Structure 1
Amino acid sequence: MSRPRRFLPSVSLLTAFEAVLRTGSTAAAARELDLTQGAVSRLVQNLESQLGQPLFLRERRRLIPTEAARAYGRDISRALDLVARASMELAANPGGGVLSLAILPAFGTRWLAPRLAGFLSAHPGITINLATRLKRFNFAAEGFDAAIHFGVDDWRGAGHLRLFDETLVACAAPAFLRANPIRQPADVHALPLLQIETRPTAWPEWFRAHGLVAPLPRGMLFDQFAPMTQAAIHGLGVALLPEFLAMPDLDEGRLQRLPGAPVSGTGSYWLVWPEARADYPPVVALRDWLAAETADLRAREGAGDGADDGDRTRTP
């Protein structure tokens, strides 16, 4: 796509404008950019001339940004950050590419991290940068190449690969269960139930699956699984945890399963990626690797709808 040169100012013009907007003066911007104050002023004036409108009001040797300039500056700042990041990534890894992946904290710690060495061994030229995100975000604004998402395949403008469904298991610390014997699911009614913000219907669904009516909520509320798991380990109540997350603590005896079968969660774990990055080699490599890593899990789930097992792209 051809881009009118008028609307593609040079990086020198944009960096001068962004520095003046951020620091509040041409003098401060000049010190930061290692330029003279006059040079910075000329760069800003040239940008205004190229855009055909003023960006600053000049009052008694002070530059006051217009509202339009503030909005423009937010976009320019993000764009300059993306250019800088791309340049650093190329310099750091010119051969394989860098993958910026947003992960859910618990999934990243308990499921992805123990397996990641296998991916890096199979793709030695790829560098992965990880950052946690609890909620959905704008790919264009954040600059991620892909993300691990919990829920359903409804991320607009993104491709989806279902990894596996969530299965929830009720568990508590052995000492807690010795003090509060549980022989059947109905005995859980009287105990403090640890809850998490992102699964508000988890406990009602667990009780319903066991033919019971859920009690009124009582117990601590958490925004992440890690502190809720620790609360259960230290005897503060009963936790309903994703099975993959609970397994290490169950295997090592820090937690113990309660009577009653595990229940299906309210969603699945997905790899999602912006449409513009669908063919980016590191994204393709991660997608193929995750599909292979989770194939057995999906087979055990007996997924009925084959469409859920592959890539899916939804457009806005």
Structure 2
Amino acid sequence: MKRGFIPPIDCLIAFESAARHGSFTRAAEELFLTQGAVSKQVRLLEGRLGVELFKRIRQRIVLTDAGRIYLHDIRGTLEKMTSATRQVMSFAGSEDVLNVAVLPTFGTRWLSRRLPRFHERYPEASFNLSVRLRPFDFSIEPFDGAIHYGEPVWAGAIAEPLFQEEVIPVASRAFRDRHGLHKPEDLVNVMRLHQSTRPDAWQKWFSMAEVETDSAFQGPRFDQFTMIAQAAASGLGVALVPKFFIEEELASGTLVRLFNISLKLSSAYHFVYPENRTLRPVVKSFKAWLQEEAHEQQLDRETLLPQ
């Protein structure tokens, strides 16, 4: 990047604010500047770029085609700069900051509720948790580690296994009683809910239960387990859901487990971290704690049967 091609940041901020509000006056109010100062910064930017970003129409400003294109790119850059600045500021006064990428449902349904136990062990630690759905390059993204589901494969990283999914059939108590679900064969004739990334889960479950059916793939599909759990709790149908995702629903009776037949999928959850980076003490402690929590979960074989 050559310095001459990077406009002053104040000009970029003024341009983005004016474009978002469609007004120099409202941008000035947001930025605690005068209307004239905002207008001047935008003119300086236009002069630097050599293109007109706004059409001045009486008391209004309207983005030109070049302005719309520039706004699209600049807005993303400013958001990244803001995020990066906030993340760096989180290190102030402490080097015990964990930056971890998590899968959304895993983060909300498993990790977050257990974090107080880690905080008791490592009270100096603070957390920055961000959602990432796919593997990324640790040399580019500012993370100490990530939660990964699938095979233990991640370029440039080490994958430590945590646990497999134990998937169980659940429904609302009202749905179970209304349809008389007393044996695995009964699930062939009711609505079954599917998770789009586990398309053959019901087929595998029926096979394990020794139930023959040609309709294992029939039923609506959902992108997230949280949506499936909510649909099942509302009485739409029967769902196959990882047991650890619905601990609260099972405890409260919002969902009930139908049969003592669980399916363990071959893929597993892993904690991954960069292979070419020395782990800081807080990351080592977090990794060890995760493995302990995962081991305790594997030892917990308590079965929730229908009531």
Task: Give the TM-score taking structure 1 as reference length.
Answer: 0.68
Aligned-residue offset at 1:168: 1.4
Aligned-residue offset at 1:215: 1.6
Confirm or deny that 1:200 pairs with 2:199. yes
Aligned-residue offset at 1:244: 2.0
Cross-structure match for 2:21 = 23
Aligned-residue offset at 1:116: 0.6
- Mapped partners of 1:45, 1:137: distance in 2: 42
Q: 1:54 aligns with which of 47, 51, 54?
A: 51
Cross-structure match for 1:264 = 264
When the two chains are superposed, the root-mean-square deviation of aligned CA atoms in Å is 4.3
User: Quick one: structure 1 residues 285 and 47, their matched pair in 2 at CA, closer, same or farther if it must change by over 3 Å?
Assistant: farther
Cross-structure match for 2:256 = 255
After superposition, the C-alpha distances for 1:282-301 in whole angstroms (9 at most, x for unaligned) are: 9945862465336637998x
User: Quick one: structure 1 residues 131 and 234, their matched pair in 2 at CA, closer, same or farther if it must change by over 3 Å?
Assistant: same
- Mapped partners of 2:100, 2:166: distance in 1: 24
The answer to whether the 8 Å contact 1:18/1:77 transfers is: yes
Q: Percent identity at matched positions?
A: 36
Cross-structure match for 1:116 = 115
Cross-structure match for 2:166 = 167
Q: Look up the SS of the partner of 2:295 in the other structure.
A: helix
Aligned-residue offset at 1:204: 1.8
- Mapped partners of 1:26, 1:18: distance in 2: 11
Quick one: which amino acid aligns to residue 54 of structure 1? V
Cross-structure match for 2:237 = 237
Q: Look up the SS of the partner of 2:264 in the other structure.
A: strand
Q: Look up the SS of the partner of 2:192 in the other structure.
A: coil
Aligned-residue offset at 1:16: 1.7
Once structures 1 and 2 are overlaid, which stretch shifts more, 85-94 or 160-169? Answer: 85-94
Quick one: which amino acid aligns to residue 56 of structure 1? L
Once structures 1 and 2 are overlaid, which stretch shifts more, 11-20 or 89-98? Answer: 89-98
Cross-structure match for 1:84 = 82
User: Quick one: structure 1 residues 115 and 195, their matched pair in 2 at CA, closer, same or farther if it must change by over 3 Å?
Assistant: same
Q: 1:96 aligns with which of 89, 94, 97?
A: 94
Aligned-residue offset at 1:42: 2.9
The answer to whether the 8 Å contact 2:168/2:257 transfers is: no
Q: Look up the SS of the partner of 1:169 in the other structure.
A: strand
The answer to whether the 8 Å contact 1:55/1:69 transfers is: yes
- 5+ residue gaps, structure 1, are 301-316
Cross-structure match for 2:33 = 35
Aligned-residue offset at 1:242: 0.8
After superposition, the C-alpha distances for 1:184-241 in whole angstroms (9 at most, x for unaligned) are: x434322332333343222122223445344255555544333533554565533211
- 5+ residue gaps, structure 2, are 300-307
Aligned-residue offset at 1:47: 2.8
Matches within 5 A, 1:141-156: 145=143, 148-152=147-151
Cross-structure match for 2:106 = 107
- Mapped partners of 1:137, 1:41: distance in 2: 43
- Mapped partners of 1:35, 1:156: distance in 2: 48
User: Quick one: structure 1 residues 74 and 154, their matched pair in 2 at CA, closer, same or farther if it must change by over 3 Å?
Assistant: farther
Q: Look up the SS of the partner of 1:258 in the other structure.
A: coil
The answer to whether the 8 Å contact 1:197/1:223 transfers is: yes
Cross-structure match for 1:225 = 225
Aligned-residue offset at 1:268: 2.9
- Mapped partners of 2:278, 2:7: distance in 1: 29
Once structures 1 and 2 are overlaid, which stretch shifts more, 194-203 or 96-105? Answer: 96-105
Q: Look up the SS of the partner of 2:215 in the other structure.
A: coil
Task: Give the TM-score taking structure 2 as reference length.
Answer: 0.70
Cross-structure match for 2:305 = none
Q: Look up the SS of the partner of 1:166 in the other structure.
A: strand
Q: Look up the SS of the partner of 1:107 in the other structure.
A: helix
- Mapped partners of 1:154, 1:258: distance in 2: 34
Q: How many residue pairs are counted as aligned between the two chains?
A: 291
Aligned-residue offset at 1:33: 2.3
- Mapped partners of 2:238, 2:146: distance in 1: 30
